[in-house]
Homo-oligomer: A and B are copies of this chain.
């Protein structure tokens, strides 16, 4: 348990190191040679050109204009200046809403909570004498500021109970306002969108086999009968049979020709083989109204056939999962639920196993011929010092990928859904292994075991009791993991190194240089759950140890600044889902509130505060609040209201009476493997390039475009 000055010192060191990162960033970003690392978004939009074309040799690589170094912190106000509507236009709604999470955390929830906490709870805690009177207990100033200092003086707990209610109601108010605002932003965004293929299109899965008709004919007949006034056209999906990956960076024309022929033959084979047609189709309608109706209704009396849902936008489709039968889907999800349970609670077992192998005797037994190398003293100490930690580190680095793979096995058909699903899994993992794991000693499965053997009302008490004691630990966690992590994010070390390596050894044409650039994107699946962990810490400690809150505010402010800069200058989103992740974000905040309320109750009952039963109402109110918000706002993220569809249809009919929708939609949904030049260029894509929704330069050679679309063929048409 550190004293206040210890914490202050640590905070100082962390702030200094963060400032160091920022300084490094400020200098690196000014160098022309790094321009494509720190401003890739502008390149992709075609607005920025390489500053290296002009000037002398040195100034191509190093910025010699010293005036710019004086204004090196300029990027901060610039990042904040762009107004929100322009930001949505520039980076998309997903990104704009994502950084609102930081704003929500900082300004709207934790600043008022901190002010109240410091005005009311800190004086109440500080002026109590329990810890000072207890002779044998060692305590720190942090403890004196926390609820631990109240002890027998139970009248003072009234302050905490009242504040718990005030905090909860303030948070409800903020969350309600935010959910309402984002729902209306989404509806406004959808309403003001240009014409896009997914507005007219529905994804149909589990088309039943028919002995007399091909899948395509069957789809056509079914929808021309059952949606006779609205059906327009459809496209069926193909199996993943398109063969080997081809490397685009290949200069020999002869080679290219040969490969192109093979590619054509393969494509020909796939198209002509009826077995390679998936029992799934993208069905398009004459109006948005018709599509909205089909997406929201049940088609067949067997609810596992002819399943319809909104088509994701073309970039967002995850093609490999389109053709999973219903029964298989149930089995896959059940298996993944069991797997997630084991992964969360028992991941330590295989790691411990690897660690047990990773001692010297183990390695020598497995690979005896390496003995001479291992016995060298330097290698020996290296192995002994690093290996055990490395197994865990490698696992943690791989974890988001593992979780994403599990979500893919579960069979979601859109990348956005996959990311949302992986985020839920990651949050569970962090909650159990970081939050509970830090509060209770022992591994996750030891905790699980002890929880199973404890009574239901004892669990919050056990966890609650250790909360005040861990405040110092979490303060350093916030500084080391949070502050430093964000500072590392802005400097983009990995893309920086990789870009320069590629640039030096591989890049030969301007096209190559474009490809060497890795703009990256907001990794929702891994970064959102980590924000949620800070929300959880903030809500749990708001009443218990308010001194922790300023550290969280610094984290949120800093993150807000950095990510706003990144989405303006760097990230290039893969797809646009219209903030469809907000119900998940809201749901996890509700979970954090309930956890914090239960733990406060547990903590107060271990201190024999008679007021603790008064806190029973809070989780109940929170659950009611959640069910209210869910009914009130969630449909806006799931369904498209018919009224809105009708308004857009009517408007379009009035302004463009001669629109040929069939041509527009003809090639909107084709598997990325067929995005080749010999297939006529889709009208929808052309139009989107002229009138981009999110103004990105839709260059199909951008590495991001088909990154997930199909791992086996990601480069076939470059």
Contact = CB atoms under 8 A, between A and B. Distances in A.
A196 B229 CA distance: 25
Contact of A452 (B299, B303, B457, B628): B457
A526 B338 CA distance: 38
Given A293-B297, A326-B631, A229 B229 contact: yes
Contacts of A330: 624, 627-628, 631
Nearest to A327: B628
A607 interface: no
Contacts of A187: 301
A214 interface: no
Contact of A641 (B298, B452, B631): B298
A635 interface: yes
Contact of A303 (B298, B455, B457, B635): B635
A436 interface: no
Contacts of A229: 229
B334 A624 contact: yes
A303 B646 contact: no
Nearest to A186: B301
A53 interface: no
A456 interface: yes
A644 interface: yes
A583 to B, nearest CB: 12
A402 interface: no
Contact of A298 (B453, B620, B635): B635
Contacts of A327: 628
A613 interface: no
A296 B299 contact: no
A50 interface: no
A346 interface: no
Contact of A636 (B301, B454, B458, B644): B301
Nearest to A635: B303
A639 interface: yes
A646 B227 CA distance: 9
A226 B646 contact: yes
A455 B457 contact: no
A154 to B, nearest CB: 22
A459 to B, nearest CB: 9
B296 A298 contact: yes
Interface string A284-305: 0000000011001111110110
B639 A297 contact: yes
Contacts of A457: 452-453
A296 B455 CA distance: 44
Interface string A185-205: 001000000000000000000
A639 B298 contact: yes
Interface in A615-648: 620, 624, 627-628, 631-636, 639-644, 646
A463 to B, nearest CB: 15
Nearest to A450: B455
A453 B455 contact: yes
A630 to B, nearest CB: 10
A300 B636 CA distance: 9
A337 to B, nearest CB: 9
A59 B194 CA distance: 86
A338 B621 CA distance: 11
A451 interface: yes
Contact of A642 (B226, B636, B646): B226
A376 interface: no
A225 interface: yes
A338 B297 contact: no
A454 B457 CA distance: 8
A328 to B, nearest CB: 11
A323 to B, nearest CB: 18
Copies in the complex: 2
A631 B411 CA distance: 15
B627 A225 contact: no
Contacts of A298: 296, 635, 639-642
A326 B225 CA distance: 37
A85 B353 CA distance: 65
A297 B299 contact: no
A631 B452 contact: no
Contacts of A620: 334, 338
A300 B641 contact: yes
Interface in A242-275: none
A292 B226 CA distance: 12
A301 B453 contact: no
Interface in A334-355: 334, 338
A114 to B, nearest CB: 31
Contacts of A624: 330, 334
Contacts of A633: 303
A326 B627 CA distance: 12
A296 B327 CA distance: 25
A529 to B, nearest CB: 25
Contacts of A627: 330, 334
A632 B640 CA distance: 25
A326 B632 CA distance: 9
A222 to B, nearest CB: 8
Contact of A301 (B297, B300, B326, B644): B644
A291 to B, nearest CB: 11
A631 B455 contact: no
A226 B226 CA distance: 19
Contacts of A456: 451-456
Interface string A315-333: 0000000000011001000
A222 B451 CA distance: 55
A303 B632 contact: yes
A65 B383 CA distance: 105
A636 B303 CA distance: 7
Contact of A631 (B304, B635, B639): B304
Contacts of A641: 298-301, 303
A99 to B, nearest CB: 25
B296 A297 contact: yes
A199 to B, nearest CB: 15
The 9 lowest CB-CB distance pairs between A and B, nearest first, are A303-B635, A298-B639, A334-B624, A296-B297, A301-B641, A453-B455, A452-B457, A330-B628, A298-B641
16 contacts: A187-B301, A225-B646, A226-B643, A229-B229, A297-B297, A297-B642, A300-B641, A301-B641, A301-B643, A303-B631, A451-B456, A452-B456, A453-B455, A453-B457, A453-B458, A456-B456
Given A229-B229, A293-B293, A299-B641, 12 more contacts: A225-B646, A292-B297, A298-B639, A303-B636, A303-B641, A304-B632, A306-B643, A330-B627, A452-B455, A455-B456, A455-B458, A456-B456
